[in-house]
Amino acid sequence: MSKPAWKQVYRALEHGPAKDRCKNKEMIKKFPKEIEDFANTFVAMQDKRHRADYDPGAKFVKSEVILDHLVVEGAIENFKKASVADRRAFCVYVLLRPQRS
């Protein structure tokens, strides 16, 4: 894959719309469990990141952050166990906006 194309795709993900798509249970349940779990982890971690960035009163315990890191690593490793076709379909789903009727 060419580096410029990969860079464009890599930076194309908009976290808000991706989170909304991951929260769409009707669509996410069509993917294998590994991807469904990844989507749920994405939503949970996006909520925590948002809290960390925008809630001045938010407090985080180091042990919980370490655990979250391990959860994310596990979700990524499990995601990689899904077929290439399913991973690609998920990536297209979260990257591209649906057509309006």
Does the structure show a pLDDT above 90 at 77?
yes
Q: Which two tokens stand for residue 30?
A: 């069509």
Does the structure show a pLDDT above 70 at 63?
yes
- Three-state DSSP class for 49? helix
Could you tell me the pLDDT band of residue 98, with boundaries at 50, 70 and 90?
confident
**CB count in 10 Å sphere of residue 87:** 18
Domain assignments of the chain as residue spans, ordered by start: 16-95
Prediction pTM value: 0.86
Task: Compute the half-sphere exposure of residue 87: CA atoms within 13 Å on the CB side of its CA.
Answer: 11
Q: What does the pLDDT look like over 1-57, one tens digit per residue?
A: 588 887 887 788 888 999 999 999 999 999 999 999 999 999 999 999 999 999 999
In sequence order, the 6+-apart residues with CB closer than 8 A to the CB of 99 are: none
User: Measured between alpha carbons, how far is 78 from 20 in angstroms, rounded to an integer?
Assistant: 21
- Positive or negative, the CA dihedral 39, 44, 50, 52 is negative
